[in-house]
Structure 1
Amino acid sequence: MAEALSDHDETDSIDSVVPSYREEAMGDDGDIINSAKKMRASGLSYEKVKVFSDGKCAEEEAVKYNNFKWTCCKINDTEQGTKKYYKCSFKRGSNCPAKIYLLFHASNFEVTLFQAIIRHDHTRECKQTGIPIEVKNVIIELFQNGYTTPKAILSELDKLKIIQPKASQISNFLVTLRKKLYGPAQISLNCIKNWCIEKSIIPNDPDECFVANYYIKDDDANPLFRLFVTTKNLMKNCLNSNHVCADATYKLIWQGYPVLMVSTTDKQCAFHPFGMALCINEQTDDFEFIFKSLQITVEKLYNINYCPIILVADTSGAITNGFINVFNVIEKRIMCWFHVTKNIDTRLNAIKDKKMKTELRQDIEFMQLIKNETIFDAAIKLFQKKWKSKKCPLINNFIDYFINEWYMSNKGWFEGFAIGYPSSNNALEATNGKIKSLYTFRERLPVGEFLSVLEKDIIHQLSRERNVDDIVTSQNAKSFANTPSINLSLWTSTYHWIKEEREVIIMKNNDGKKMHFIESSSFQDNYEDFNKEFMKKLLYNQQNVNWCDFDIMKGEQLSFWECEFLNESENWIKSTCSCPACLKYYICKHIIGLAARYKLCSIPLEAKNIPLGQKRKRGRGAKAKKALIVQ
């Protein structure tokens, strides 16, 4: 007990308070200086030079005093008045000690100029801070090539064997660079309005972007803006086509706003945009705005009432309603086949039987290739009858969905719905992907930055690619094609088809037109003789919709192709055929083959070069086996 008390007393005798830390300063001679005493810097001596009666005149004189360049570096408020200090800025990076200051007297309006009693020294260089100019130029070049993050830039600098600055320095420099190239990241409705007013003048340059139409509602509760940008060269394509492709794309703007695009396609399936619109939503009013902008701009540029009759889009009702509200009529509303298959495949995933799922998909693909609406209506009924007879709940649910969604509501997805027009928006979707990969580098940009990219890069480049009048771009420019083109591959397949000597029967169809009925490659799998009697039977079934089974109808329709051939030297390429190739690409080997048989065209020699053997496949080839072993 006594020992315990003794230990307790010793503990209390020790100081339990931890002393605070005091930093010790070192003098020039290495001795420790008391940190409580602050070292005062040696001040400069100044002499009075001149007195001014006006502060403005004094500041104008100060920045060019004694023919040197002076920059304001500090402002101090004292009892005498405000002192405004200037340093000598002979050149960037110099560390000249010369200084002056202006004293704005507190007691009166006079301003006195004082000069430090020290000579100029322009030989002294200050220590390099920040990123060197040479490295900045490399970073700018990398940024323009798509390296937009500090990590990616550091990796490229390492490959180039360039001394790397800090990642934080690169990050700060990129912020400054983006602001310089694209303007501020945040933007107000007033800034957008001023930008639209500035860009609304139609330029003389056909590839220069301008704002064709805009609408801004500056309301705190419900702010709204819409703007449509284009070029004179892009608007020219409105005169060549009577169908419009429209769609909205996302993931371009950080705020989540959609970008709307309107375009058309030519007979070579090439994409030709009219312009792009930036809106807050993608509702009926937004699409009505973009279609109205098209109509107004065409009338302003060419004094023509633009009124297309066919619309190609997905199932969006907003696009359809906006089109009708502007143009008052819509003859054909084509549903994009890609969006149809995308929705159908999602529903088909509920069916676990792979064989049934594959057969269902093949039947739908066959119906997409049907050549007219009468046969399509009959095929839908037989298709429903065939699959309802399976008495499978999952299949019944899918058939009910398919009939309601893709027959009763949205019917225009088969090729025969509008012959001579595209059945999908694939060209527009591909362009949206190109914009994201080449111009925004798959980054979501703020509105202000995106407007700059839209003006200087996207719209300008889309227009330049289609400028056939410019000598610089005319060689590779995408001109609007009114007739399909024939490449070497198509010439070759035509030559092989001619050599097969398939049967071609000339007779009138159900409408009384003289037609060429061509034996298909699948005919011999189901039938024996391709003759007039056989064709009369098929045409009778087709005219009277005399089918009781879906598979029988499918076999008959795929056994022949119906070609309306124009036996004219100049117009034969405008002939039509019911084969899938012609329905999708407006030209096929059957049309070219008939033209060659009628001596309206000749097969080029390059197409007749038949390669020997099989093309070597990818990967490592098999080694030669031992002798006397067949390989």
Structure 2
Amino acid sequence: MFNSKCLVVDLKNKCKEYKISYQGTKADLIKRLNDYVKKNKVQDRPQTTVQEILQPDPIEPEQESQDEFSDVMINRPLTEIESDGESIDVINENGKRVQVKFEYHRIQDLESIDDAYKFLENDTDNRWVRVRRRPTNEGIKYVYRCSYDPNCKTRVYILLHDDDESVSLWLCNVDHDHSLIKTKSFGINQVTKEQIGILFRSRVKTATNILYALREKESKFKPKKFDNDSDVLNDMYVPGIVIPTRQQINNYIHNTFKPRLENVEGTKKTKFSYGDLQQWVDNNLLVPDNEHEPFVLDHLIEFNSLIPSASKIRLTISTKNLLKIASRTNHICSDATYKLTWHNFPIFLTGTTDHQKKFC
């Protein structure tokens, strides 16, 4: 009978021999084997372990000397072999979705894995990110994918050879696809900005009216009333116009045309200088009587004439009421998610949150 002295490995091998389940704990295996022996009346030596059962018959001295140099089979643990035939879904020439298998080919041999890391880092056209590490019979593989574009399915892996410290780079047969990054644009292009400026100076002030005017200049032909009408050239057509959103137009108007300050003489300026900022701060240093009127708590203005980009500006503006609320709280929250600007200067909102998690 089987008991707790038996090894788990031997118990599992015995279960496989009897063609019964070898899943579960050691106690489950012992119970399952004993039940099988009782049920099928398997002749087994009592009070013997599985090691003794599996132990081969003793070899005679003559036979041992003859088999001294014979080949011995070693039970080597199975190593997971990576499937280089991973498949991805692509759109073929007929517009149908098909599966294409990855097939890798060697592209580079390097002396160490550090050289492989540098090789991937110096690849300016692509951006490689490691996705997994997998041991194989050929060696350890570090698989990377190209993250330069979300649509890109190209992969490469670094193979660490078992026989020496050298490594090799293997690239798959799927070409890079960076079409999304190339077509993606940010902000308003220069042609559209010039047309917005012309419209704004022509007293087309609102973002909605500017958007309608840009749509009239976008198409090369005038819109048709009926499908069978002939094409009529649009005299207002401007090549290169890309229609922005209403919010983009509104932000561009306020950041470019609206910031105007009045001087002492009554004239208006289109630019806000450091001197104007210092003058504004001096005029708002006094604490007002109104609890909701803002004033300057602290400020720092350091203008670097040699390197203007190295200039430093810091303003702290608040009200009496907000300071009272802040004095009764334990935490102060800073928020810059609104991306506010004041005369082209960035603004960081600082406040508190109430018991309902409302920012104020």
Q: Which has the higher helix share?
A: 1
**Under TM normalisation by the shorter chain, which class is it?**
under 0.3
TM-score (norm 2): 0.26
TM-score (norm 1): 0.16
If asked which structure has higher relative contact order (CA below 8 Å, sep 6+), I would say 1
